[in-house]
């Protein structure tokens, strides 16, 4: 039972991370030691699973898809998204700099702990790290698209976002932001439980993750260090998205005002800056504690 509760907490960390533009649930999965198990569990939804379901062999089916683990992660993720969608809406409106600072600290520490998992530092590893950093940095300065609530586009958003959600360093929420549908999906639809928006997103997410998990599982097994290096680069490059000291660049589109980018600046030496830096340090300490707890659980 204790392992089930712990996996729910790990899922909650993933769900909370996925709500934040620039933070990846995959990073939390990697840090808490469930990333590869999660990928393999999702991959288990295959023809064998369908055969076991069709023949009524439910016990074997549950074992095949690792249902105990998957249900714990799923409950944690779902509950966390529902809770944090409302909480973060309030915090981003009233304390944006502090929230960005906390998550900047989280991701900064994540770079170190994920990089530690790379076994050999080769030229290929350095190249993949540099490539991942460049890709994430380019995404950070890409102008967001306009909001689109068509059924097909929402399915595409779901497929693309869920794949990036399980990739450490690539934020599914930020991808939704770039696609123009972050507020529509993660704030408005989740808070209002709007099924006309959530159903096509869920359909796209289901199809996308079933296909993507197979490819990612093979890549990790075949090119372990290079894959981790690329993912570490994604995480490092995403720091530019989370820099706390910035001003939103807004553009009026029809009857809406949309954030299309940010103007970044360095803070002044004042009380609020020191408080923000302290909050950033709290984010770093949080990840250090998560990594320490995860390491202890692996040895028990």
Question: 195-222 and 224-237 helices cross at what angle (nearest 10)?
Answer: 130
Question: Is residue 149 predicted with pLDDT exceeding 90?
Answer: no
Q: What is the per-residue pLDDT for 236?
A: 85
Question: Is residue 25 predicted with pLDDT exceeding 80?
Answer: no
Question: Is residue 69 predicted with pLDDT exceeding 60?
Answer: yes
| Confidence bin at 277 (pLDDT 50/70/90) | very high
First-to-last alpha carbon distance for the chain, in angstroms, is 15
Q: Tell me how far apart the alpha carbons of residues 145 and 230 are, in angstroms, rounded to a whole number.
A: 26
Residues 6+ apart with CB under 8 A from 93: none
pTM, rounded to two decimals: 0.66
**pLDDT tens track for 183-236:** 788 777 877 888 888 899 999 988 888 888 888 888 878 888 898 898 888 878
Q: Tell me how far apart the alpha carbons of residues 30 and 10 are, in angstroms, rounded to a whole number.
A: 10
Q: What is the per-residue pLDDT for 144?
A: 64
Return the number of other C-beta atoms located less than 10 Å from residue 73's C-beta.
Answer: 24
254-277 mean pLDDT:
77
Q: Tell me how far apart the alpha carbons of residues 255 and 185 are, in angstroms, rounded to a whole number.
A: 19
Please spell the DSSP secondary structure of 34-57, one letter per residue.
-HHHHHHHHHT-SHHHHHHHHTT-
Percent of the chain with pLDDT over 70: 86
Q: How far is CA 275 from CA 31, 120, 280, in A?
A: 27, 38, 9
Q: What is the per-residue pLDDT for 252?
A: 65
Cβ proximity of 101 and 244 under 8 Å: yes
Q: CA neighbours within 13 Å on the CB side: how many for 227?
A: 15
Which of the given ranges, 47-56, 86-95, 252-261, 273-282, has the highest pLDDT on average? 273-282
Provide the β-strand partners of residue 263.
Answer: 247
Residues 6+ apart with CB under 8 A from 187: 85, 89
102-127 mean pLDDT:
85
**pLDDT tens track for 74-93:** 899 888 888 877 777 777 77
Q: What is the per-residue pLDDT for 274?
A: 93
Phi, psi values for residue 215, rounded to 5°: -65, -45
Q: Tell me how far apart the alpha carbons of residues 183 and 108 are, in angstroms, rounded to a whole number.
A: 26
Which of the given ranges, 14-18, 126-130, 287-291, has the highest pLDDT on average? 126-130
| Confidence bin at 242 (pLDDT 50/70/90) | confident
Q: What is the per-residue pLDDT for 131?
A: 93
């Amino acid at each position: 039972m204790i392992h089930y509760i712990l996996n729910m907490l790990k899922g909650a960390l993933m769900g909370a991370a996925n709500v934040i533009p620039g933070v990846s649930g995959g990073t939390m999965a990697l840090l808490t030691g469930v990333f590869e198990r999660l990928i393999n569990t999702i991959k288990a939804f295959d023809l064998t699973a369908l055969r076991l379901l069709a023949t009524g062999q439910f016990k074997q089916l549950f074992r095949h898809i690792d249902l105990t683990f998957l249900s714990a992660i799923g409950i944690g993720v779902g509950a966390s998204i529902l809770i944090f969608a409302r909480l973060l809406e309030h915090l981003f409106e009233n304390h944006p700099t502090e929230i960005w600072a906390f998550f900047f600290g989280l991701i900064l520490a994540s770079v170190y702990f994920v990089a530690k998992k790379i076994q050999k530092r080769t030229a290929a590893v350095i190249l993949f790290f540099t490539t991942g950093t460049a890709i994430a940095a380019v995404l950070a300065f890409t102008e967001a698209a306009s909001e689109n609530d068509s059924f097909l586009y929402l399915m595409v958003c779901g497929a693309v976002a869920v794949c990036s959600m399980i990739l450490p360093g690539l934020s599914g929420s930020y991808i939704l932001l770039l696609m123009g549908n972050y507020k529509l999906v993660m704030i408005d639809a989740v808070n209002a439980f709007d099924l006309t928006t959530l159903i096509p997103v869920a359909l796209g997410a289901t199809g996308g993750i079933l296909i993507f998990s197979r490819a990612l599982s093979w890549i990790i097994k075949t090119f372990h260090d290079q894959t981790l290096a690329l993912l570490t680069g994604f995480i490092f490059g995403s720091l530019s998205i989370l820099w706390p000291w910035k001003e939103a660049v807004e553009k009026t589109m029809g009857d809406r005002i949309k954030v299309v980018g940010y103007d970044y600046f360095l803070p002044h030496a004042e009380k609020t800056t020191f408080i923000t830096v302290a909050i950033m340090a709290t984010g770093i300490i949080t990840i250090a504690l998560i990594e320490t707890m995860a390491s202890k659980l692996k040895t028990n």
